Every structure is written in C-alpha cells, then in structure tokens.
Structure 1
Amino acid sequence: MLWACVLLPQLALDGVMRRRANPEEPLALISGSAQRRVLQTVNVAARELGLRPGQSLTAAHAMTREFATVEYDPDETGRWHRLLAAWAYRFSSQVSLKYPRVLLMEVESSLGLFGPWPVFEARLRQELTALGFSHRIVVAPNPVAARMLANAHDGLAVTCNDSLQQVLEQMPVNRIGLSQDVSTAFGRMGLHRLRQVSALPRDTLARRFAPQVLQHLDTLLGRRPMPLECYVPPDHFDTRIELNFDVESHQALLFPLKRMIADLALFLGGRDSGVQRFIIHLEHVPSVGSVAPDTLIPVGLLSAEREADRLFELARGRLEQVVVPSPVRALRLQAKDLPAFVPSHRELFDDRPQQNMPWEQLRERLRARLGDEAVSGLGFHADHRPECAWLPTSVSKPVMAAHKVSRPGWLLREPEHLSDSSVRVLAGPERIESGWWDGGDVRRDYFLVETRTGQRGWAYRKVGDDSGLLLQGWFA
C-alpha cells in the first residue's frame, strides 16, 4: 500500500482567509484569556508589518493597528478539516483524520484511475491551491512514516520499504513523533538521528523507555501495523459564516454565499451525490429586548445538481427576491436532501450555440428569478375541447401526445373571425361535441386551414351556423 500525507500547516488561517473578500489584508488569529490576548497565527501581509505568532495583542497594537483580527476557533478548524476530508474522499475510499491538520489517503488503489503518482500529485496540489489551502504532500508505504516525513519534506515519494528505511534513518529524532521528554533524553545520550537510535539493542531501549517508544518506532518503520479509523461522509451538510459587519444589502451577501455554495459543491463531489433542496438562513442582529428570527430562503430543484456555479445562480435568484427585514450578522446553509447524482445526457458533438443552455438549466433559472408559481409545465386533460385539453402542471418531464391526430400548440385567448377569402381549407370537418355535463356544451366542426403566407391554423364553425370560420389556434 501507498499512503499520501497531506499536511495543512496553516489550516485555521487559510480557512478564515478564503472567506474574506480581501485576502491581501493583514490578518491575525487571536487566542488566549481576556487578560492576555495572543496572536495565534498571522498571514504574510501581517508578517511584513512585523507581527509574529505568540506576540501579545497589546504589543502588536503598539507596533501598528493596520491589521484585522479574528478569534481563533478550534471547532471551526475541525470543520475545515472534515470538509477537506470530504474533498479527499473523491480520490480514495480510505481517508483518515488521525492527526490534526493532516489528511492521510491510501493512494495505490487510485493510481489506475487518476494516473501515475506525479500526475495524481499535481492534480491534488492544483485543487488544494484553488481551494486556498497551503499544503505539503509526502508518500510512503505506511501512514505513520508518511506523516513523520512530512515534518521535514515536501514532494518526497518513497514507494518501497528499503528506500523508506534509508530515508527515515536520516530523520532527526525530534521530528519523528516522539514526546518532548523522550526526544530530549535521546539528545542527552548523543542520539540525534533515527539511525543512531535503531542501532541500539532493543532490550536496552525497553529498559530505559516506556513501551510506547518501541511501539512507535516499530510502527514508523513498518514492522507493526497501525489501525486507522477511516472517514465516512455525513448524510447532511451544514455550514455557517459570521460576517465581519452588519449587512443590509443583497450585494454584500453574495460573496460569502458563493463561498458557502462552493464548499457545498466540494462536499457533494466527495459523496458523489447532488442536492435537491437546501435552505439559506439569514441570521439577523438581535433587537433590544428580543431575538430576531432567522429569515429562511429555501432553494429547491426539480432534479439533483452539484455544479457550484449553477447552484449559486439559483441561490442568488432566490436571495434577490427576499426583502431583508433587518441587518444580517451571519449566514448559514443547510442541505439534508442529498440524492445520488446522475449526470445529464449530453451529445458527443453538441451543435447547440454556445450562448444557449439546456432546457433544464433555463427552467431552474426562471424558477429562481420569477418564483415557483410563475413557471409550470403543460399536461394533458381527458377532454376533447381544445381549451380544456391542456392544464398547467408541475411535472418536470415533457409530456407525450395524448392524441394521434394533430392539435395546435398555440391556442388563442379568444377565437378570431377569419375571412373565407384569406384562407383555404386543407382538411376537415372534424366534429367535436362535448361538455354537456359541466355546462360548457360545444358542437363544432373543425378545419385545418392555411393562410396566404403559408401559416397553418385550426378553425371551427358551430354546427348549424353558416357564418365564417373562427380561428382558435396556430400550428408551429
């Protein structure tokens, strides 16, 4: 087996920065007690101002106030960790979150699908960079070795145990996952590399150190297997963004909404599923003496979808229809209806103009822009009267013709008189007598007619009435 270790050295900072509209702004994550606030980590722009991790917030403010601060949230960092595990699940069925800020992936079984390791690695790096997460990647025959090698290497690929032994022997003792006390003890004994520790007799190590030390060394060198608990994607998606300021316009909500939907699409890709319905929560600023209820914006689709751009377009259309009653402090997105995703059928050579879109996409866009009630399909009704044979329906699939005889696709609101000299009769009459049971009794003789310009229509004359024809509809 081959295991890839994806080390995410600044997971918390990257997670916060990718949700900010201006990633070039100096930023610091802060933690600590109320009496002593400390910079947990800083981005590149903040480092250029002289800020450093571990510095007190008071000392940082004494140097400059040209930087933003965000509270470090371990729970939020855990959510980013799980989201990236969902991303990694696209590439491997064995993904582990055993170590913090690390993804362990079994990749040997995936090489046949994603290509040789250099190609596979390039794809992983490209997607992680696009997602906004810095990373280091190392491959080794066992997961513990891959994790420890990532402490000192990036891009290293060790594919056999013999090579692994040689590489590990060069590792510093304080970088192979031993506790600080054990590393210090080895250093005092003059043992600074793993090869020096491995040269010692096992019984000597067993007498001087706890059993966990030998167990860890055996696991690191592949002599002892280590069971891993593999990640299983959850059955729902739930994410929240707390805004930096109170928002009162739709436009300011679009950027965080787009980020949330991009994360939803990432999650769906890992599960190989789509979304049928999701809900956007607008969390409002509480008023004096009361808590304002959330504004709920449901987004429903007629078929499962997972493309980020399309989901965002539909969500934006729904959002723009809502009147924001009070300032918004946070956004939340919940998706529980996650059916299996079946890609739509596409022709190999699509001759549709590039600016056109499939009917399914147009239908969803219209529903998002105009509302669910404004867009409907047409269904057949068991009635021979043309004006009663069609009715609006929510059926998303096209209906099949109910009659073998042709009927016009465009019916006029009110029949119009035709001059006998302006049309010629091509077929007819076809008599329709119906509606006696509901008070809409009709007795008509219908004719297929053609105008001088070649347009064909459907016209009728009431039975017993010798007046002119009445045009009721046009054929396409």
Structure 2
Amino acid sequence: MLWACILLPQLALDTVLRGRDDADAPLVLLAGPAQRRVLQAVNGAAAALGLRAGQTLTAARALAEGFTCVEVEPARIEQVQQLLAAWAYRFSAQVSLHYPRALLLEVGSSLQLFGPWSRFEARLREELQALGLRHRIVLASNPVAARMLANGHDGLALTCPEQTRAALANMPLDRVGLPTEAAQALSRMGLHRLAQVQALPRDAVARRFAASVQLHLDHLFGLRALGLDFYQPPDRFESRLELNFDVESHQALLFPLRRLLNDLAAFLAGRDCGVQRFELHLEHVEGPDTVLKVGLLAAEREPAMLFELARGRLEPLRIAAPVRTLRLLAEDLPAFVPQHRALFDPRAQQAQPWEQLRERLRARLGDEAVKSLCAAADHRPEHAWQTAEQGAASGLVVIPGSRPGWLLSQAQALPESGVHWLGKAERIESGWWDGGDVRRDYYRIETRDGLRGWAYRDLAQPGPLWLQGWFA
C-alpha cells in the first residue's frame, strides 16, 4: 500500500481568504481570550507590514494600521476539511481525517486508474490550487510516516518501506509527532535524530517512557498498523459563506457564489454524481431568507455551467434587503451520466451541447419560455405538433423525414413558377368532428435555390399553392 498525505499548513487562513475577493489586502487571524488577543496567522500583505503570527493584537496595532482582523472559526475550518475529504474520495475509497489540517489517502490502488505518481500528484496539486488551498504532499509506505515526513518535506515520494525508514531516520525528534515531554527528555540525553532513538534497545525505551511512545514509533516505522476511520460522503451538500460586508447588489454576490458552486462541483465529483436541483439562500441582516431555487432537467456537475445557470436566475431577482450570508443546499443528487462524444468531434470549440444551451435559455428566459415539441394523434399538420414541458415523452413515433422540421405559423401563398414537384400528392382529409375540417393535397417541392418544402392545394377552396413548412 502507498499512502499520500496532503498537509494544509495554512488551512485556517486559506479558509478565510478563499471566501474573500480582496485576498491581497492585509489580513490577520485572531485567537485567544478577549483580554489578550493574539495573531494566529497573517497573509503576505500583512507580513509585509511587519506583522507576525504570535504577536499580540496590541503590538500589531502599534506596528501597523489598515489591516483587517478576522476571528478564527473552527466550524468553517471543519466544513472545508469535510469538503476536502469529499473531493479526495474521488481518487481513493480510503480517505481519512485522522490528523488535523491533513488528509490521508491510500493511492497505491489508484495509480492504475490515474497514471504514475508524478502525473497523479500534479493533478492533485492543480485541483488544490483551484480550491484556493496551500499544501504539501508526501508519498510513503504507511500513513503515519507520510504525515510526519510532511512536516519537513514537500514532493517527497517513497514507494517502499526501506526508503520510508531511511527518510525517517534523518527527521528531527521534534517533528515526528512524539509527545513533547518525551522529545525533550530524549534531547537532554543528546538524541536529536530519529535514527539515534531507533538504535536504542526496545526494552530501554519501554522502561523510560510511556507505552504510547513505543507504540507511536512502531506506527511510524510500519511495524504496527494504525487504525483509521475512513470518510463516508454524505447524501446532501450544504455550505455557508459569510460575506465581508452587507451586500445589496447582484455583482458583489457573484464571487462568493462561484466559490460555493466550485465547492459543490468538487463534492459531486468525489461522489461521482450530479445535481438536478439546489437552493441558494440569501440570509439578510433582518427578515426571512430569500430562497432562489435552481432546477435542471438533467443532472450536471460542471462548475462553469452551474455558475451560469445560478447567475441567470440571480440577476433578475430583486434583493429586498442587504445580504449578510450565502448558503447553498443541494439534496437532489442523482447519478451523473457524461455525454457520449466521438473521438474526433467535428463540433467547433465555441459550440455548446444542446443540453447546456437549453439550461442557459431556461435560466435567462424562464422555465416557461423553453418548451418541447411532441407528436399528437392528428393528421392535420397544424395540430400534429404540440408544445409540452421539457422532458415530456410522446407515445407516437414519427418517421424521420416524413414531415417537415419547420412548420410556418401561417401557410403562405407560393408562386408555382420555378417550383419542381417531387413525387405524388398525399391527401389529408380530417377535422370534421371539431369544426376544423380540411381537404388538402400535399406535395414535396424544391425551389430554384434548392430548398425543399411542403406545400398543398386546398380542395375545398381552389386557389394558389400554399407553403406549409420546410424540410431540413
């Protein structure tokens, strides 16, 4: 087995920055009691002002001004960790959140699917970057070793136990997860590297230290397996994002909306499903939430498409009061069936599949503006095609090419000069029961321009040739 550890050293700070559209502005995270507020983390712009993690807020304000303070929110950090586990579940069925700020996943069985480790690692890094999370990745032969090696390495790939033990031997004792008291005691004994502790007799270590120390060393070197609880994805997605300020315009909601939908897409990819309906809750400072419901005719999970659909529904909405928080809820998560395409698809890059175009039109124009056509049991052409709800099925089977694909709303008189007749007439007599009786002879015709149409002569009222529709 091979285990990858994805360490997120700035998870608390990244959790805040990924939800802000001013990530380049000076920002610090605050922790500690009210009487002694301490800077837990600072972004690059705040560090440029001379601010450092561990400083008190009083000292920071004495050094600089103009930086934003944000409280550490453990609930939001846990939400991002659960999202990451759902994302990683796409690559491995054994995903664990055993360690804080880290993700463990067994990847040995995934290499045949995702390619060699170098390609697999590059894909992980690319998607983590898109999620807005800084990271370090290490590959080792057991999960504990992968986690501890990530404390001092990034990009290290050890594919066998011998390589893993050799890399562990050079690790400092204060970076391999030993209890603080044990690490300090070993340091006072003149031991600073794990190789020096490994050389000690087991019984000597057992007499001097608690049993948990030897157990951790056994886990570290792969002599004992660590029991891990593996992640199981939930059956619904819910994410909540607090805004920096009260928002009153649609434009200011687009950035957090895109972030929420990117998270939803990552969750859907991990569960290998799509979404057919979701709700966007605009939580106001006062009053009830404004709920925006987005429904699709088929399951989708492409983040750009979901964003465009939600944006199309959001822009016509009147925001009644300032928005403080966005919440996204998705419970209808059916299986996702990707579209089948030919190996050499001749379609232009700018062209859209019909399903995506249909959903964009529904989002922009409204659900009632886009209809389907279905065949009805009536020989009269103007009654044979009827509008229906999208997705509605008709029990009648229409032979392709038997009727024109484009019927005119009103038949038009057609000059007969230059018209070429194709085949014999087809007589239609119908409608006596509803007052719309017709008696017509229909002909397939071709114009001088090569267009093929469907025209008739009215037997009840002799007159000109009437054009009813065009064939594709």
**TM-score, shorter chain, exceeding 0.5:** yes
Answering whether residue 401 of structure 2 is matched by residue 413 of structure 1, we say no
| 1:312-391 → structure 2 map (5 Å cutoff) | 312-391=307-386
Deviation at 1:48, TM superposition (A): 1.3
Distance in 2 (alpha carbons) for counterparts of 1:303 and 1:198 = 58
CA change 1:253–1:432 in 2 (3 A) is same
Deviation at 1:318, TM superposition (A): 1.2
Deviation at 1:120, TM superposition (A): 2.6
Q: Which secondary structure does the structure 1 equivalent of 2:203 belong to?
A: helix
Q: Which of 455, 459, 468 is equivalent to 1:472?
A: 468
Deviation at 1:344, TM superposition (A): 0.5
Q: 2:13 corresponds to which residue?
A: 13
Distance in 1 (alpha carbons) for counterparts of 2:157 and 2:417 = 87
Q: 1:394 corresponds to which residue?
A: 389
CA change 1:164–1:420 in 2 (3 A) is closer
- Between 319-328 and 112-121, the greater mean CA deviation after superposition: 112-121
Output one character per residue of 1:138-185: Cα deviation in whole Å (capped at 9) or x when no partner. 222111111112222222223333333333233222222122222222
Q: TM-score under structure 1 normalisation?
A: 0.91
Q: Which secondary structure does the structure 2 equivalent of 1:348 belong to?
A: coil
Distance in 1 (alpha carbons) for counterparts of 2:107 and 2:446 = 69
Output one character per residue of 1:280-313: Cα deviation in whole Å (capped at 9) or x when no partner. 1111221xxxxx2222222222222211111111
Output one character per residue of 1:180-199: Cα deviation in whole Å (capped at 9) or x when no partner. 22222223333333333333
- Between 329-338 and 193-202, the greater mean CA deviation after superposition: 193-202
Q: 2:306 corresponds to which residue?
A: 311
Output one character per residue of 1:329-373: Cα deviation in whole Å (capped at 9) or x when no partner. 111111112222221011222222333222222111111111111
- Between 155-164 and 379-388, the greater mean CA deviation after superposition: 155-164
Q: Which amino acid aligns with 1:85?
A: A
Answering whether residue 23 of structure 2 is matched by residue 23 of structure 1, we say yes
Q: 1:289 corresponds to which residue?
A: none
Q: CA RMSD in A?
A: 2.4
CA change 1:408–1:145 in 2 (3 A) is closer
CA change 1:446–1:159 in 2 (3 A) is closer
- Between 49-58 and 242-251, the greater mean CA deviation after superposition: 49-58
Once the two structures are aligned, what percentage of the paired residues are identical?
A: 63
Output one character per residue of 1:12-64: Cα deviation in whole Å (capped at 9) or x when no partner. 11121122212221111112333332222111211111112222223222222
Distance in 2 (alpha carbons) for counterparts of 1:85 and 1:454 = 60
Q: Which amino acid aligns with 2:24?
A: E
Q: 2:212 corresponds to which residue?
A: 212
Alignment length (residue pairs): 471
Q: Which secondary structure does the structure 2 equivalent of 1:466 belong to?
A: coil
Answering whether residue 139 of structure 2 is matched by residue 143 of structure 1, we say no
Distance in 2 (alpha carbons) for counterparts of 1:129 and 1:410 = 49
Q: 2:427 corresponds to which residue?
A: 431
- Between 216-225 and 158-167, the greater mean CA deviation after superposition: 158-167
CA change 1:387–1:142 in 2 (3 A) is same
Deviation at 1:388, TM superposition (A): 0.9
Q: Which amino acid aligns with 1:354?
A: Q
CA change 1:61–1:386 in 2 (3 A) is same
Deviation at 1:390, TM superposition (A): 0.7
Q: 1:166 corresponds to which residue?
A: 166
Q: Which secondary structure does the structure 1 equivalent of 2:25 belong to?
A: coil
Q: Which secondary structure does the structure 2 equivalent of 1:50 belong to?
A: coil
Distance in 2 (alpha carbons) for counterparts of 1:397 and 1:376 = 10
Q: 1:4 corresponds to which residue?
A: 4
Do the aligned residues in 1 keep the contact of 2:9 with 2:134 (CA within 8 Å)? yes
| 1:265-304 → structure 2 map (5 Å cutoff) | 265-286=265-286, 292-304=287-299
| 1:185-204 → structure 2 map (5 Å cutoff) | 185-204=185-204
Distance in 1 (alpha carbons) for counterparts of 2:22 and 2:207 = 57
| 1:62-77 → structure 2 map (5 Å cutoff) | 62-77=62-77
Distance in 2 (alpha carbons) for counterparts of 1:170 and 1:315 = 52
Distance in 1 (alpha carbons) for counterparts of 2:37 and 2:230 = 37
CA change 1:143–1:454 in 2 (3 A) is closer
Q: Which amino acid aligns with 1:357?
A: Q
Distance in 1 (alpha carbons) for counterparts of 2:400 and 2:46 = 74
Do the aligned residues in 1 keep the contact of 2:131 with 2:263 (CA within 8 Å)? no
CA change 1:403–1:383 in 2 (3 A) is farther
CA change 1:420–1:175 in 2 (3 A) is closer
Distance in 2 (alpha carbons) for counterparts of 1:350 and 1:80 = 38
Q: Which amino acid aligns with 2:343?
A: L
Q: 2:56 corresponds to which residue?
A: 56
Unaligned runs of 5+ in 1: 287-291
Q: Which secondary structure does the structure 2 equivalent of 1:321 belong to?
A: coil
Distance in 2 (alpha carbons) for counterparts of 1:4 and 1:85 = 13
Output one character per residue of 1:416-467: Cα deviation in whole Å (capped at 9) or x when no partner. 3445667565555433222233333333333444555554443444444333
CA change 1:384–1:140 in 2 (3 A) is same
- Between 310-319 and 395-404, the greater mean CA deviation after superposition: 395-404
CA change 1:95–1:453 in 2 (3 A) is closer
Q: 2:243 corresponds to which residue?
A: 243
Unaligned runs of 5+ in 2: none
